[in-house]
Structure 1
Amino acid sequence: MEKSQFRVLIKHYFLRKKTITETKEKLDKYYGDSAPSISMVKKWFTEFRCGRTSTSDAERSSRPKEVITPEIVDKIHEMILDDRRIKVRELAHAVGISTERVHHILHEYLDMRKLSVRWVPRLLTLDHKRNRVTTSKECLAMFSRNPDEFLGRFVTVDETWIHHNTPETKEQSKQWVSRGERGPKKAKQSLSANKIMATVFWDARGVIHIDYLEKGKTITILFKAIGQIQR
């Protein structure tokens, strides 16, 4: 079937008050692999909810492809370098071209894509990175001289916050259900406000000491434990 014919079917199910999931299941049942994707069904349901009645493609702009010039590509590149979070529609408005052309420039000419930030435990300064490199080289030199003794004496330490109540993750709460059966529900829980800092020391054989920071105490008392372990 043509895409326009599938759109008519999607509109038919929409008018019959079917859900997106029910519509997708019926299309898969009768048309198999040729049925539209769930994202396409969602797209047209959204269009119909917003008042759209036509299932035909909207008229495209007759703007020629020659609108992409080196000057426009350079300008878009400069705007992105100035503001990495700039939106496509803002770029399109600034240079006077369609968002479709902007997408084409970003992907085909500049080979760029927009990614979400990646969370890391902490951001290291240049000094932090330099100290880590120096320490790693020193440890590597000691390991090269006597690997067995180095692994037997090397102690690592790290700190973590332990909450009094830690709810299970979404992955941990998964359950098996039959097709057509509604998914399980649970009340949303948050990490408890009460927490305690734990400093964990371990070597090649495993954890050798855990120190809990008492309420009202400063972090300086934890460093005494480090000295005791090293001695």
Structure 2
Amino acid sequence: MKNVYGSEVLSRKNVFKWYARFRDGRDSFEDDPRPGHSVTVRNDENIEKVAEVLRNDRCVSTRLIEEVTGIPKSTVHLILPENLGKRKICACFVPHTLTDDQKHCRVEHCRDMQQAATTDPNFMANIVTGDETWCFKFFKFEPFTKRQSAEWKSPEDAKPKKVRMEKSRIKTLLTVFFDLKGIIHKEFMPEGESVNAAYYLSGLKRLWARIHRVGPEY
């Protein structure tokens, strides 16, 4: 047997054991049923079950996958990275998310600005721009933790995102206008005002009057 099978041959002990079993009337070489958990293999059916669960919920835990599919968690841990190429990535914090149309508009505006800056050497010095932000009295952290936001992602998928915290309702709007030299005008929104077209128009009029006083070259 060693000459025929080489290193794959059964040990002398197992040869005698199996010979004794067949001599006593055994006619099957399959393992006998044993008590305890059955061994779950990573076959195509189990891999598809895990993939289906992930398609419905990317934040699902391996323990929940075990409860839904009946596949042991140890096998799920092997299927996810080795068969599906998944690894769990926590979401990165961003101020807000943008739609595809908003991203496209920003790219187009940036290209227009880049072209204008290339053709006009004084382009940057002639810009007066502004921004606004809500000033909050306090911040309230969300109960949705970083670990709870983790999703199973493929290597080619984008990293998930979520907002860092929930802000207080007690807030006031701060608007700041500035140029290449620094701040030109800033103001807080008066209490009781609404953020609408009339409010923005009045703010631009105040900015225009301020520019006349501090930057007549504009």
TM-score range, shorter chain: 0.5 to 0.7
Aligned partner (choices 124, 129, 137) of residue 156 of structure 1 = 129
CA contact (8 A) 1:160 1:197 kept: yes
Quote the RMSD (CA, aligned, Å).
Answer: 3.0
Aligned pair in 2 of structure 1 residues 63, 226: CA closer, same or farther (>3 Å)?
Answer: same
Q: Tell me the residue number matched to 1:14.
A: none
Conserved 8 A contact 1:213-1:222? no
Preserved contact between residue 88 and residue 99 of structure 1 (Cα < 8 Å): yes
Looking at structure 2, the residues matched to 218 and 193 of structure 1 have their Cα atoms a distance apart, in angstroms, of 15
Aligned residues: 146
For 2:179, give the aligned amino acid: D
1:99 to 53, 73, 97: 73
Structure 1 unaligned regions, length at least 5 = 1-59, 167-190
Percent identity over the alignment is: 30
Which residue in the other structure is 1:7 paired with? none
Q: Could you tell me which residue of structure 1 aligns to residue 185 of structure 2?
A: 209
Bigger Rg, structure 1 or 2: 2
Q: Structure 1 or 2: larger helix share?
A: 1
Alpha-carbon distance change, 154 to 74 in structure 1, aligned in 2, over 3 angstroms: farther
The one of 26, 43, 56 aligned to 1:82 = 56
Query: Quick one: distance in 2 between partners of 1:212 and 1:222?
Result: 12
Checking the alignment, whether the CA contact within 8 Å between 1:199 and 1:222 is kept in structure 2 is no
Give the 5 Å matches for 1:50-199. 63=39, 67-147=41-121, 149-164=122-137, 194-199=170-175
Partners of 2:118 and 2:127 lie apart in 1 by 14
Report the CA distance between 1:135 and its aligned residue: 0.9
Alpha-carbon distance, 1:216 to partner = 1.1
Cα pair distance change 1:75/1:192, threshold 3 Å: closer
Q: Which 5+ residue runs of structure 2 have no aligned equivalent?
A: 1-35, 140-166, 212-217
Aligned-partner Cα distance in 2 for 1:138–1:114:
39
Matched residue, 1:172: none
Provide the C-alpha distance between the structure 2 equivalents of 1:69 and 1:192, rounded to a whole number of angstroms: 51
Preserved CA contact (<8 Å) 2:172 2:189: yes
1:186 corresponds in structure 2 to none
> Which amino acid in 2 is paired with 1:195?
K
Bigger fraction of residues in strand: 2
Cα distance per residue 1:174-231 (max 9 Å; x no partner): xxxxxxxxxxxxxxxxx87643110122222222221211111122323443464487
Residue type matched to 1:95 in 2?
T
Q: 1:205 to 1:70 in 2, by over 3 A?
A: farther
State whether residues 161 and 196 of structure 1, in contact with CA within 8 Å, keep that contact through their aligned partners in structure 2: yes
Report the equivalent of 1:23: none
Give the C-alpha shift of residue 71 in structure 1.
2.5
TM-score (ref. length: structure 2):
0.56
State the alpha-carbon separation in 1 of the partners of residues 130 and 119 from structure 2.
23
Cα displacement (A) at 1:165: 6.6
Question: Are the equivalent residues in 2 in contact too, given 1:164–1:194 (CA < 8 A)?
Answer: yes
Cα distance, 1:103–1:204 mapped onto 2, change above 3 Å: farther
CA distance in 2, matches of 1:193, 1:73: 47
AA partner of residue 225 (structure 1): G
2 CA distance for matches of 1:140 and 1:206? 21
8 Å CA contact 2:66–2:73 kept in 1: the answer is yes
